[in-house]
Amino acid sequence: MPDRQFKNEPPGDRRLRLAPAAPQPEGEPQKRLRVIVADPDPLARRVIRDALTAEPGFVVSAEAKDGVEAVELATHYRPELVLMEVGLPHLDGISACREIRARAPEVRVVMLSVPQDRDTELRALRAGASGFLTKSAAIDSVGRALRSVASGEAAVSRSLTSHLIEILRSTTEDGRGMRPVKSPLTTREWEVLDLICAGLSTREISGKLFLSEDTVYSHTKSILRKLGVHSRAEAVEAAGRLRQPGAI
């Protein structure tokens, strides 16, 4: 069966391939998983809704066209799953994911988008997402991924898994390099803070990150302000608390 694509968009861009659903094994009926689909494109929402509801075990409880609506619907319906586009208006998908996880921690969020850079994928996971899928994935693969997430697994690509393993391997025993899920700091601020924890001076951090000393100083001020501390030593202690088990 030929693939159905999003209309008015070039091949390979914002594409969700519809492959035949994999046959389900015989036995006890699967639990019906409630899903909220959040995407600014009504055609994308319809394609995903029709494909999921055609598979046994899924029911689309609601649809959201922006991040604010996604948060409201997720906290109201408390579905098992939210399948959400990163590029949502009014409140972006990553921020919406963070809000949903804070207000309804039992709801699992999977991000669905066009191929993204690695930093976007990592930010989504740190915000509490249980997976990151691309719109080039076959719809039956999306269904399998959602079932895996509902059972407590993660839905990430092999390349992202490999990257996460490399991050873990490069992390020191004191936790430097780890990023807590809930943190007010940006990725760049964490990079600066990691080097502060390693004992580097402003000049040394400047050379390491290829930033001006004024930029490093500005990042350091922002780190102290966001962590509510007044010195580098206190910032190191705060970083250690954020990296405690349960915070990461």
Each residue of 57-93: pLDDT tens digit? 899 999 999 999 999 999 999 999 999 999 999 999 9
* Whole-number pLDDT of residue 188: 85
* pLDDT confidence band for 167 (50 / 70 / 90): low
Fold exhibited by the domain 168-242: Arc Repressor Mutant, subunit A (1.10.10)
| CB neighbourhood size of 54 (10 A) | 12
CA distance to 34, 49, 125, per residue, from 95 (Å): 22, 23, 11
What mean pLDDT comes out for the span 125-142? Answer: 83
Name the CATH topology of 33-158: Rossmann fold (3.40.50)
| Sheet strand arrangement including 58-64 | 58-64, 33-38, 81-84, 108-113, 131-134
Considering only CA atoms, give the Rg of the chain.
Answer: 20
Q: State the pLDDT confidence band at 21, using cuts at 50, 70 and 90.
A: very low
Contact predicate 87/14, CB 8 Å: no
CATH 3.40.50.2300 residue ranges for the chain: 33-158
Q: Whole-angstrom Cα distance, residue 67 to residue 46?
A: 18
Looking up tokens 């994999």 gives 22
33 neighbors 9 (Cβ within 8 angstroms): no
Q: Report the pLDDT value the prediction gives residue 168, as an integer from 0 to 100.
A: 62
Average model confidence (pLDDT) across the chain: 80
Tell me where in the chain the CATH 1.10.10.10 domain(s) lie: 168-242
Who wins on pLDDT, 15 or 142? 142
Q: What does the pLDDT read at residue 68?
A: 96
Give Cα 120 to chain centroid, integer Å: 8
pLDDT of the residue at 203: 92
pTM of the model: 0.61
Contact (Cβ atoms closer than 8 angstroms) between residue 130 and residue 154: yes
User: pLDDT over 90 for what percent of the chain?
Assistant: 44
pLDDT of the residue at 159: 76
149 confidence band (pLDDT: 50, 70, 90): very high
Q: Which pLDDT belongs to residue 55?
A: 85
Q: Which two tokens stand for residue 158?
A: 């092999």
For residue 186, the model assigns a pLDDT of 83
Poorest-confidence range of 25-29, 121-125, 189-193, 218-222?
A: 25-29
- Count the residues in the chain: 248
- 204 pLDDT above the threshold of 80: yes
Give the pLDDT band (50/70/90) at residue 180: low
Residues 6+ apart with CB under 8 A from 66: 38, 40, 88, 89, 90, 91
Question: Residue 114, exposed/middle/buried by CB under 10 A (0-12, 13-18, 19+)?
Answer: middle
**Tokens 């990257």 correspond to what residue?**
163
The answer to whether 86 and 60 are in contact (CB under 8 A) is: no
Instruction: Name the nearest CA neighbour of 42 among 76, 65, 11.
Output: 65
